[in-house]
């Protein structure tokens, strides 16, 4: 995205706010409430729609970044909205899984871990942004995100495939979700230590 400078030195958003990568990000934000709406559609249709919307939105997370780099359309707006879109999609999908019973009992703790980590890292990144410090996403965090998305997609469609909340497919989805939650704890601690280092330096 092109960032122009207004009189007085204040930046403004250029025409690339309407670029394809940013449109894909807008679509991912819009997909979050759509996944939530599928909860009110009875039967397997609701599960399949949730799965399809979630998968399509998850794919755009990788496509928009690739296009932005390939077409040199990386933007400040995109960097701001991209993590917001990811967190909205994951948070709403987790709420749907809790509501339909796919995440129940002890598995709710995995959901709590994931949601707490997302909120914690968002707050940490906001704090570090004030210090003009950027914490890069680690390779492990990227693998965690991929595993988490696959797990959520599996759990969203599992009732339509198994006909119940138990069985091989739900068990696979829950196992992947727990692994992602545990890795989330580690990566969250990693981000915290990086933030603590900069906080000590500021003191």
Select from 201, 192, 156, 194 the least CA-distant residue to 177: 156
pTM of the model: 0.83
Q: Is the pLDDT of residue 70 over 80?
A: no
Q: By 3-state DSSP, what share of the chain in percent is helix, strand and coil, each rounded to 5?
A: 80, 5, 20
- Over residues 97-124, the pLDDT tens digits come to 999 999 999 999 999 999 998 888 877 7
In whole angstroms, give the CA distance from residue 72 to residue 23: 15
Q: How far apart are the two ends of the chain, measured CA to CA in Å?
A: 35
Report the pLDDT value the prediction gives residue 31, as an integer from 0 to 100.
95
The total of other beta-carbon atoms located within 10 Å of residue 42's CB is 7
> How confident is the model at residue 155, as a pLDDT?
96
Distance, CA of 148 to CA of 128 (rounded, Å):
25
Mean pLDDT of 6-31: 69
Query: Does CATH place domain 3-202 in 3.40.50.150?
Result: no
11: pLDDT strictly greater than 50? no
**What percent of the chain is modeled with pLDDT above 90?**
43
For residue 201, the model assigns a pLDDT of: 59
Mean pLDDT of 52-60: 94
Domain boundaries in the chain? 3-202
DSSP string, 69-100: HHTT---HHHHHHHHHHHHHHHHHHHHHHHHT
Which residues lie below 8 Å from residue 136, measured CB to CB, with a gap of 6+? none
- Report the pLDDT averaged over residues 11-20: 61
């Amino acid at each position: 995205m092109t960032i122009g400078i207004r009189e007085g030195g204040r930046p403004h958003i250029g025409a690339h706010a309407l670029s394809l990568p940013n449109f894909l990000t807008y679509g991912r934000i819009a997909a979050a409430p759509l996944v939530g709406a599928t909860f009110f559609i009875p039967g397997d249709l609701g599960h399949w729609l949730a799965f399809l919307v979630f998968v399509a939105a998850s794919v755009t997370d990788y496509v928009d970044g690739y296009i932005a780099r390939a077409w040199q359309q990386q933007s400040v707006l995109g960097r701001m909205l991209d993590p917001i879109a990811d967190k909205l999609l994951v948070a709403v999908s987790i709420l749907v899984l809790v509501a339909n019973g796919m995440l129940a009992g002890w598995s709710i703790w995995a959901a709590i871990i994931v949601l707490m980590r997302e909120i914690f890292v968002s707050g940490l990144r906001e704090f570090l942004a004030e210090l003009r410090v950027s914490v890069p996403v680690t390779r492990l965090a990227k693998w965690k995100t991929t595993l988490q998305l696959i797990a959520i997609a599996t759990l969203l469609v599992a009732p339509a495939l198994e006909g119940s909340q138990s069985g091989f497919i739900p068990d696979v989805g829950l196992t992947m979700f727990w692994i992602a939650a545990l890795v989330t704890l580690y990566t969250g601690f990693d981000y915290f230590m990086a933030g603590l280092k900069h906080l000590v330096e500021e003191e």
